[in-house]
């Protein structure tokens, strides 16, 4: 008994020290307890560093959620939001102010540029919310299985958010190239190879073309049937011939 207690206590001490060490290092793990780092909870599970911008953030969050709801219907995931109004806040979470990011389905991080350019802000919040919803419906296996290729995951998030930054004409070669991005890990490689505009833009255009061909119901069927394990390319081909 004594030994067991001792082991448990040392284990608890170890966990506490890991916790303390983790909290001391800037990074997304600090989102577990954002109030310890000066953030305020402005709505359930929504945190920001500057209360005076709270209303602007909530308006953006609500407008984004509406767009995502228009696509998916009732939203099932309930991500936590870390909305940074300043670069100082970005640094707390180990970031530099440029990139919005979703961690699984449980955490969405948005940088201050969402407030300086509101249409970009709306696109960022919508984009990340699409990822959170899709990955929630997918489950933890999203990390290793490729039920939904990453070009479609990113293309759909860009398409639903109507991101004006990536509008343009893309060549057949570019549209086919981006479809080669299957896993989560592929995507970053593709972006570093040809840059943000071509990679996101071509993925977006592929989804827009699918939307023109099979409509919103078709896109939802593609998502649901792929997640059920029917095979993305197989479902896509079947939907396109009907």
Binding site for Zn ion (CB under 5 A): 154, 157
Looking at the Cβ atoms of 92 and 135, the one nearer to Zn ion is 135
Looking at the Cβ atoms of 31 and 157, the one nearer to Zn ion is 157
Least separation, in Å, of the C-beta of 130 and Zn ion? 8
CB burial of 144-172 (b: ≥16 within 10 Å; e: otherwise) equals eeebbbbbbbbbbbbbbbebebbeeebee
Label the pairing between strands 101-103 and 46-48: unpaired
Least separation, in Å, of the C-beta of 153 and Zn ion? 7
Reported as type and span, the H/E element at residue 108 is strand 107-110
d(CA 55, CA 238) in angstroms, rounded, equals: 45
Least separation, in Å, of the C-beta of 68 and Zn ion? 13
Looking at the Cβ atoms of 42 and 203, the one nearer to Zn ion is 203
Looking at the Cβ atoms of 50 and 154, the one nearer to Zn ion is 154
Least separation, in Å, of the C-beta of 121 and Zn ion? 15
Q: Is 58 exposed, middle or buried (0-12, 13-18, 19+ CB in 10 A)?
A: middle
């Amino acid at each position: 008994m004594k030994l067991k207690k001792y082991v448990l206590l040392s284990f608890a001490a170890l966990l506490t020290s890991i916790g303390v060490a983790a909290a001391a290092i800037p990074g997304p793990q600090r989102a577990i307890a954002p109030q310890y780092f000066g953030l305020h909870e402005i709505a359930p599970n929504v945190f920001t560093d500057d209360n005076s911008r709270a209303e602007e953030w909530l308006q953006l969050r609500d407008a984004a959620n509406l767009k995502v709801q228009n696509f998916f219907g009732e939203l099932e995931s309930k991500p936590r939001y870390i909305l940074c109004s300043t670069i100082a806040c970005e640094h707390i979470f180990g970031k530099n102010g440029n990139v919005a990011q979703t961690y699984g389905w449980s955490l969405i991080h948005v940088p201050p540029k969402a407030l300086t350019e509101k249409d970009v802000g709306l696109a960022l919040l919508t984009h990340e919310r699409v990822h959170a919803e899709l990955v929630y419906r997918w489950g933890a296996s999203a990390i290793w299985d490729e039920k939904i290729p990453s070009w479609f995951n990113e293309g759909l998030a860009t398409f639903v958010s109507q991101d004006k930054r990536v509008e343009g004409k893309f060549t057949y070669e570019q549209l086919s190239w981006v479809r080669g991005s299957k896993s989560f890990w592929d995507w970053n490689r593709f972006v570093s190879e040809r840059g943000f505009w071509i990679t996101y833009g071509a993925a977006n255009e592929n989804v827009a073309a699918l939307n023109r061909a099979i409509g919103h119901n078709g896109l939802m069927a593609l998502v649901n049937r792929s997640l059920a394990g029917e095979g993305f390319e197989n479902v896509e081909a079947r939907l396109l011939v009907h």
